[in-house]
Chains A and B, each alone.
Chain A
């Protein structure tokens, strides 16, 4: 369980960090290290160079404006937990992040690190998918923005190239009055989700749902948006009958695998229940 050998650099500017990443075929950026260091310990990753982003102070802030919430890549879970503005600026983010890992890990783990790691059961990628986040990256060829839907390509696999660094994650503005819910099931608080659901919708003047977004994690090789379930919710009152249909449609829309933690059938049923509970809490708000 000792880490494989690697070189280490701790640049103070973003261009310097990109230069370092580009200089090696298998260099890797390290932010909080809460996913990467275990990967190193298991030798699932054996980079020749680690580029530590901890001195890049520009990547740390949480900005809130009319356009939405912008999370710097080096924002830690603890920072989100302690930022009271987010209770109204993005309550879904705040609720989801309360499920991320344990106390000690929350002090080090980062938004950018979680997005780059792309664990299919992790909350932050799930929120990015559910909320149509934009992921801003900078690399050798300049800066560009990747839509969350294009970013996550499989388990631990993303659109990020080796010389690119995530600089920020932008979540679109959250209107007052939006209905939302987040539900997660894990055997132990703080463990990865066996399944979780993030939902939100707005309401038209008749109280019917519109702009429904339903995202789930832990039931595929990446975080998923379930458009079939969203289509079923739009234009409807979110009552018991609609929610029951959404539960069944969710289970039908996913194809989880058996693994050591749960059977595919269990996860399929569980994720439906998570959507049911998330919608029930959204409707009750």
Chain B
């Protein structure tokens, strides 16, 4: 079947079998290998992409279901060589070790911070509970996300830092 959608601002048309997941379509047909495939059954969150503004597991969506959608992958967040503030924050806080889960962490956190720039540490943890890091580097990941809030319009509050250290 032929399917058309937008990926990172570009219109694409791909010929796919109906059984092809969006994750495999992005990786194998469009060579966007930033989206990682971990468990392939909706548990690990590594394959999270942004579909029409919402964080979605691309291994649980068929490519044919993306017809007409606007998709953003981890490659689409930064422009050229520069990292986004969220990505810089991940580097600053050493929020990745092996890096396998990182694309899913970044896409998920990007949607969260875009929608809820004032989210607190508990909310970050709740949302990221859908993304597994087998290196178990969660503390630095949560710190990186919290620190990146200012770039998304977070109203800075002196009490934040003390509370988040918990």
| Contact-residue bracket for chain B | 20 to 34
Say yes or no: A105 contacts B57, CB within 8 Å. Answer: yes
A94 to chain B, nearest CB (A): 16
| Of the residues B19, B61, B126, B129, contact of A33 by C-beta under 8 Å | B61
For the complex, would chain A's binding face be called helix, strand, loop or mixed by DSSP majority? loop
Which of B40-48, B73-81, B149-157 participates in binding chain A?
A: B40-48
Return chain B residues, CB-CB under 8 Å to A241: none
A89 to chain B, nearest CB (A): 24
B110 to chain A, nearest CB (A): 12
In the complex, A105→B67 CA distance in Å? 19
| Of the residues B39, B61, B112, contact of A103 by C-beta under 8 Å | B112
B96 to chain A, nearest CB (A): 19
- The A46-79 residues at the B interface (CB cut-off 8 A) are 50, 52, 54, 78
Which of chain A's residues has its CB closest to B111's CB?
Answer: A103
| Of the residues B17, B67, B129, contact of A188 by C-beta under 8 Å | B129
A183 to chain B, nearest CB (A): 17
Say yes or no: A108 contacts B41, CB within 8 Å. Answer: no
Is the CB of A37 closer than 8 A to any CB of chain B? yes
In the complex, A190→B61 CA distance in Å? 19
Say yes or no: B59 contacts A37, CB within 8 Å. Answer: yes
| Of the residues A6, A42, A101, contact of B41 by C-beta under 8 Å | A42
A41 to chain B, nearest CB (A): 5
Return chain B residues, CB-CB under 8 Å to A52: 64-65
Known contacts A50-B18, A105-B42, A189-B126: A33-B65 contact under CB 8 Å: yes
Q: List 18 A-B contacts (CB under 8 A).
A: A1-B39, A1-B40, A2-B40, A10-B64, A10-B67, A30-B62, A37-B41, A37-B61, A37-B62, A78-B54, A103-B108, A103-B112, A103-B129, A104-B45, A104-B130, A107-B54, A189-B129, A190-B126
